[in-house]
Amino acid sequence: DVVMTQTPPSLSVAIGQSVSISCKSSQSLVYSDGKTYLHWLLQSPGRSPKRLIYQVSNLGSGVPDRFSGTGSQKDFTLKISRVEAEDLGVYYCAQTTHFPYTFGAGTKLELK
């Protein structure tokens, strides 16, 4: 199984600050079609997960461009520029390149 190692486990930030979350996979996430199926999700308190970014760097529908994703192969990063209150919650990376699909353990973003 592909192990997704997400760091840090938690972040305490001030509104307006920028933060980055790392996600490393135990094997390459490049699929046979050449695409990389690495995604970022946000689960706000009491809510279902919402996909922020798909295939490394593509913004989901309605997702503000304060969010950006970069990376390749086994090393990926989510950056949030100018954190807003609505950004608080748990962020997960997820891979759907290989079965079983796997998720990172999550990064909890809290207000300082």
Partner 1 sequence: EVQLVESGGGLVQPGRSLKLSCLASGFTFSNYGMNWIRQAPGKGLEWVASISSSSSYIYYADTVKGRFTISRDNAKNTLYLQMTSLRSEDTALYYCARGGHWGQGVMVTVSS
Given the rule CB under 8 A, which residues bind partner 1? 41, 48-51, 54, 60-61, 90, 92, 94, 99-106
Instruction: Choose between 1 and 18: whose C-beta lies nearer to partner 1.
Output: 1
Which residue type sits at 50?
A: K
Name which of 18 and 27 has its Cβ closer to partner 1: 27
CB 24 within 8 A of CB 78: no
**CB 102 → partner 1: shortest distance, Å?**
7
Can you spell out the DSSP letters for the chain?
A: ---EEEE-SEEEE-TT--EEEEEEESS--B-TTS-B-EEEEEE-TTS--EEEEETTTEEPTT--TTEEEEEETTEEEEEESS--GGG-EEEEEEE-SSSSPEE---EEEEE-
Residue with smaller CB distance to partner 1, 81 or 102:
102
Cβ of residue 92: shortest distance to partner 1, in angstroms?
6
In the bound complex, what is the minimum distance in angstroms from residue 9's beta carbon to partner 1?
Answer: 11
- The nearer residue to partner 1, 34 or 100, going by C-beta atoms, is 100
Q: How far is the CB of 20 from partner 1 (least distance, A)?
A: 20
